[in-house]
Structure 1
Amino acid sequence: MAGVAAVALLAGCGPVETGGLGDTGGGAGSGGKGGGSTGVSPLDNPDGTGRGLGAITSGKDRAAAVKLIDKVPTKGRGAKTGYDREDFGYAWADNAEDIPFARNGCDTRNDVLKRDGKDLKYRSGSNCVLTSMTLEDPYTGKTIEWSKSDAAEVQIDHVMPLSYDWQMGASRWTKAERMRIANDPLNLLPVDGSANSSKGDSGPATWLPPSKTIRCAYAVRFAQVALKYDLPVTAPDKDAMLAQCR
C-alpha cells in the first residue's frame, strides 16, 4: 500500500477530499522566501506553454476574465461511477495527440516542471529528467527548493481534476480524448504538494488556492480548460469563479 501511495503522490493525485477556502494572502508562505505571482497571466497564455500562473490584477484584465468565465456552460455534476485514473491513460504519457510538448521524448511531468521551474538541474546524461529546481508556487506563494529525493513536495495539479472531467462528460469520451486533457499543459501546474492534496477533486466552489492574489487567474485557467474541451462546470463553481474576478 505504501508503494501505491507514493505513486499517487508522484502523479499529482492527492487524497480525494473537499478542501475549504483558504484565506492566506499573496505573500510568501511560512516555508517560502518570496513569492507569489511570477508566471504568465492565463489571459496571455491560452495554450499553457508559458511559465506558471500570473496574477490578474488590472480592472481591464479582470473584466476580460469575467467575460471569458461567462462563456462556460453549467450543469449538475454527474456520478463518479466507473471513474478510474487509468481511463485517462498512464500517468504523464508523452504520446497524447494535438497538445503542446507531446511526443518530444520527455514525459509530461518533466515537461511542466521544466516549463515552470528555475535553476534546473538534470540527471546525468539526460535533458528530460530533473533532479532539482526552484519553483515559485502560485497556490501558496512559497518558493520551493525542490529535489527529486523528496519528489512529493511538488505535485502536478490537474487544474480541472480528472474525476471532475469524468463527472461532467469525459466518461463518454474516447480514451485518446481523455489522454489529451490529462496531459495538456493548459490543465497542469506544478504546485506545493500539500496544497494539491487538500484540493482533491474539488471544484472552485469548495477549493481555491490559499493565495488570494492568484484566485482570479486560477478561475480563468479552470474556464480555459472547460472551454477548450467543451465541458460544463457546476453552477456553484461558476459563481465562485466569477466572484474571484469581480
Structure 2
Amino acid sequence: MGIRGWLVVALLLALTACVRGDEPVAPAPGSPSRAQVEQLLASVRVIAERPHPGGYERGCDPGQACVFGASWTDDHDGPGGHDGCDTRNNVLAGQLTDVAFRPGTRDCVVVSGTLDDLYSGRRLPFTKAKAREIQVDHVYALAAAWDMGASAWPAERRVAFANDVDLELLATDAAVNQSKRDSTPAGWLPPARANHCFYAGRYLTVAVHYDLPITAADNAVLADLARGCP
C-alpha cells in the first residue's frame, strides 16, 4: 500500500473513532530505544523474500489441517496454558483495564473493560455484547510464520506460538486487525505512528525468540523505523 493508501486508512480510522467517541491514548509505555531495535535487527535472520511452501490451513473442522491447533485453546504448555481459561480471555484479562468477569467463571470470561489499543492509538470500550469489535492479533501473522519456517515445527510448538500471550498476541480494534491480515512490516504498520517503535520492537522480539526470519523488505522498513526511535 502506498503513502496515499495509508493516509486514507488513517483518516477512515480517525473518523470512525470520532463517531464512536473513542479517546486517544498516550504512546505505548516502555517502547524500545533506537539502540534496542537496532540490536534486535542485528540478531534476526534476514532472507531475500517470503517463501510460499503451501499447506497452510488454519481451520480445524473435519478434514482441515488445523496447523496451529484449535483457536485460543487452553491445551498448550506456554504462558497461560492449562489454566482453565481460553487464550482470548487470557489476553483480554491481561490487556484491558477496569475488567469485569462473568460470575461463576473463576475470573475467566471477560464481559467488559477498556482497551488502550496500541495499533490504533485509541481507548476502546469492550463489552461482551459487542465482543467482535475487539479482536486479538498475532503480531507475527500465523500465515507468515508458516511460510517463514513454522511449517517445519512440531505441532506442539506451533500451538504454543499461536497462543503466546506474553509476546505474540495483542488485543486491537477489529477493523485495524482485519486491515493487517497476514502482512509483515513491509506491507503493514499500525495506524498509530507514535507506536511504530513499539511495534518494531515487539515484531522483532517475536522473530528472534522463535528464530523466524524477516525479509529484506521488512528489514529495510524496520531499520527506517528504528532511526526514528528515541
TM (norm. structure 2) is: 0.84
Q: How does 1:76-87 map to 2 (within 5 A)?
A: 76-79=49-52, 81-85=54-58, 86-87=66-67
Which structure has more relative contact order (CA 8 Å, sep 6+)? It is: 1
Amino acid of the residue matched to residue 129 of structure 1?
V
Q: What is the aligned partner in structure 1 of residue 38 from structure 2?
A: 66
Among 162, 165, 185, the alignment partner of 1:182 is 162
Q: Which has the higher strand share?
A: 2
1:91-115 CA distance string (max 9 Å, x none): 0111212x22211111111111111
CA distance in 1, matches of 2:84, 2:208: 28
**Alignment check: 8 A CA contact 1:157 1:188 kept:** yes
Do structure 1's residue 133 and structure 2's residue 113 form an aligned pair? yes
| Residues 1:182 and 1:68: Cα distance change in structure 2 (over 3 Å) | same
Q: What is the aligned partner in structure 2 of residue 12 from structure 1?
A: none
Q: What is the aligned partner in structure 1 of residue 61 from structure 2?
A: none
| Residues 1:90 and 1:175: Cα distance change in structure 2 (over 3 Å) | same
Offset at residue 152 of structure 1 (A): 1.2
- If you compute each CA radius of gyration, which structure gives the higher value, 1 or 2? 2
**Alignment check: 8 A CA contact 1:121 1:132 kept:** yes
Q: CA RMSD in A?
A: 2.3
Do structure 1's residue 96 and structure 2's residue 76 form an aligned pair? yes
Offset at residue 213 of structure 1 (A): 0.7
Runs (4+) of structure 1 exceeding 3 A deviation are 17-25
Q: How does 1:116-127 map to 2 (within 5 A)?
A: 116-126=95-105, 127=107
**Alignment check: 8 A CA contact 1:140 1:210 kept:** yes
Q: How does 1:234-245 map to 2 (within 5 A)?
A: 234-245=215-226
Between the aligned residues of both structures, percent identity stands at 38
Q: What is the aligned partner in structure 1 of residue 150 from structure 2?
A: 170
Which runs of 5 or more structure 1 residues have no equivalent in the other structure?
A: 1-16, 42-54
Among 30, 33, 38, the alignment partner of 2:23 is 33
Amino acid of the residue matched to residue 24 of structure 2?
G
Amino acid of the residue matched to residue 100 of structure 2?
K
CA distance in 1, matches of 2:53, 2:117: 30
**Alignment check: 8 A CA contact 2:40 2:208 kept:** no
Q: What is the aligned partner in structure 1 of residue 90 from structure 2?
A: 111
CA distance in 2, matches of 1:205, 1:151: 30
**Alignment check: 8 A CA contact 2:72 2:163 kept:** yes
| Residues 1:90 and 1:161: Cα distance change in structure 2 (over 3 Å) | same
**Alignment check: 8 A CA contact 1:21 1:209 kept:** no
CA distance in 1, matches of 2:124, 2:143: 28
| Residues 1:18 and 1:167: Cα distance change in structure 2 (over 3 Å) | farther
CA distance in 2, matches of 1:34, 1:102: 33
